Amino acid sequence: MSAAIETEGLTKDFSVGFWRPRPYRALDHLTLTVEAGEVFGFLGPNGAGKSTMLKLLMQLLYPTSGEARILGRPAGDAAVRQRLGFLAENPCYYDYLTAEEMLAYFARLFGYRGAEVGTRVARVLDEVGIGKERRLRLRQFSKGMIQRVGMAQALLNDPEVLFLDEPMSGLDPLGRRHVRDVILALRAKGCTVFFSSHILSDAETLCSRVGVLVQGKLVASGPLSEILAFELKGWELVVGCGPQLHAELATLARTVTPLSDGHVLLHLAPDAEPDRVVGELTRRGAHIVSLNPVRETLEDYFVQVVGATADRDASGVGA
């Protein structure tokens, strides 16, 4: 599989301060490869440098050092840009236009003419779930609706690589569902999707690989299956049993929690030998409803990595 996005030592410094400007490193020697056809989640807390990275890839900013290549060509190459889609974190459009008019304007900028303009505009608006509202002026739209219009604009040219900066920002549950469905459909078509987010559940749902950015540094990157395949944290066992067994359950589990349906949830230690516990409960007349391992979530991993990086930096300052 060929690489859709490659960066090597990508670095961006800004000058901050007025009277005594000092350098601020927003992105620090970032090296990354994203394969063609994958959905890659670029995760990090606010201010980590995610938007800076996307702007460098789109050549809205120029790097201090390092390089980026997209579809085998230098980022910013005119032949490549027409094959890309981009949604900024806070898209800003001509609010006196309707959604249809604004998208038709962008379609013509891409070089589409005649009936194809209307066909493409209608298709992308349908894809992001904008119905009769498409004939309203954008100044009447909520932030979530503007976000959907931005997503539609990013899809107008059937991009081979799609860059999305916080695509779920401001969306209600229905809007989030539409965007997720669009991204999954794009993945099925072989489109490469690179999106930044601090909403970890989106990454767990959509991504095959993720990278974690903290203070401008890529501190972790890899397949989601590997990142989440860390140590077993325990077991959750749901059983149905009579009240005479309730007192005995505490001897077999870390915690015992009654559920509203009359069942009981047992939290077992990682080394609790669940087969033995299940056998013991069955012999005592309990009905086994479910048994599931509890593993580290992406949120657990994210908090762990961010916290460890902050601790290292604090130690370095103290030293």
pLDDT in tens, 218-264: 988 888 777 766 667 888 989 888 777 877 787 888 888 888 777 88
103 pLDDT exceeds 90?
A: yes
What class does CATH assign to 3-227?
alpha beta
As a three-state string, the secondary structure of the chain is: CCEEEEEEEEEEEEEECCCCCEEEEEEEEEEEEEECCCEEEEECCCCCCHHHHHHHHCCCCCCCEEEEEECCEECCCHHHHCCEEEECCCCCCCCCCEHHHHHHHHHHHCCCCCHHHHHHHHHHHHHCCCCHHHHCEHHHCCHHHHHHHHHHHHHCCCCCEEEEECCCCCCCHHHHHHHHHHHHHHHHHCCEEEEEECCHHHHHHHCCEEEEEECCEEEEEEEHHHHCCCCEEEEEEEEECCHHHHHHHCCCCCEEEECCCCCEEEEECCCCCHHHHHHHHHHCCCEEEEEEEEECCHHHHHHHHHHHHHHHHHHHHHC
Q: Which of 308 and 34 is assigned the larger pLDDT? A: 34
Q: Which of 163 and 206 is assigned the larger pLDDT? A: 163
What average pLDDT does the chain have?
A: 87
pLDDT of residue 231: 65
Most confident range, picked from 7-16, 39-48, 193-202, 300-309:
7-16
76 pLDDT exceeds 80?
A: yes
Tell me how far apart the alpha carbons of residues 123 and 105 are, in angstroms, rounded to a whole number. Answer: 15
Domains 3-227 and 232-295 share a fold: no
22 pLDDT exceeds 80?
A: yes
Fold of 232-295: Alpha-Beta Plaits (3.30.70)
pLDDT of residue 314: 56
Tell me how far apart the alpha carbons of residues 138 and 98 are, in angstroms, rounded to a whole number. Answer: 6
pTM score over 0.75: yes
Tell me how far apart the alpha carbons of residues 36 and 71 are, in angstroms, rounded to a whole number. Answer: 8
Indicate the burial class of 133 (C-beta count within 10 angstroms; 0-12, 13-18, 19 or more): middle
Percentage of residues in the chain with pLDDT exceeding 70? 94
pLDDT tens figures, 131-178: 999 999 999 998 889 999 999 999 999 999 999 998 888 778 778 888
Q: Do residues 209 and 41 make contact, with C-beta atoms less than 8 angstroms apart? A: yes
316 pLDDT exceeds 60?
A: no
66 — pLDDT class (breaks 50, 70, 90): very high
Tell me how far apart the alpha carbons of residues 43 and 297 are, in angstroms, rounded to a whole number. Answer: 14
Q: Where are the domains of the chain?
A: 3-227, 232-295
